[in-house]
Structure 1
């Protein structure tokens, strides 16, 4: 596991004033397992990474160190909303133009735009549904 991921998990846990035991319970793990994760002695599964992202309300890319922004979803977003967005953003659809691949910084810009559009649209749909 990449140390930046571990650092981010620890920082997020501590910023919530949670012990390893608290986070382990939220993850459905025991404290020993959480301790192993935080010390780099146990890897995190994809499902666990997604759980962590949902618990901390951040993107999986942020946890993995692929993105410096934590991309917190709006307060009104549900876990299902975050999972849907994550699936959209992690799809294997190639992003390119003119036969060239996009640079990582361009992909990040596209990701930010898509994420903004997604949350705005979902909010509008929910507000229209309440009428």
Structure 2
């Protein structure tokens, strides 16, 4: 699954194997071996970061390119009833969600 995903993502970005290899700091030959399934990359996370996808997507564990960063956060925020001794309203929790969502999306 990894080779197919790498090729698909490369074609989506309209970059050549050589261009991607240069950006990743590897040889074009190394990248070609990954894309052809003859070798496995040592740093899957670096590839995931480069293509802005999750490692699970690259490895074929999910078809969603990005994991939902907000699912866990929403569960945690819903469990908070107070902060620093002050009760939290639904509006307070939503304000925290929006603040954190904005910060995460701007990275």
Q: TM-score range by the shorter chain?
A: 0.5 to 0.7
From 43, 50, 53, give the equivalent of 1:55: 50
Q: Distance in 2 between matches of 1:69 and 1:116?
A: 19
Q: Distance in 2 between matches of 1:23 and 1:114?
A: 32
The runs of 5 or more residues in structure 1 that have no matched partner are 74-84, 86-111
Please, what TM-score do these two structures have when normalized by structure 1?
0.54
Q: Distance in 2 between matches of 1:38 and 1:69?
A: 20
1:43 partner SS: coil
Q: Deviations over 1:56-92 (max 9, x none)?
A: 101000000001110178xxxxxxxxxxx7xxxxxxx
Note the C-alpha offset of 1:52: 0.8
Please, what TM-score do these two structures have when normalized by structure 2?
0.65
List structure 1 segments (4+ residues) > 6 angstroms apart after TM superposition. Answer: 115-118
2:99: which partner in 1?
124
Residue 57 of structure 1 contacts residue 72 of structure 1 at CA under 8 Å; is this kept in 2? no
Computing the radius of gyration from Cα coordinates, the structure with the larger value is 2
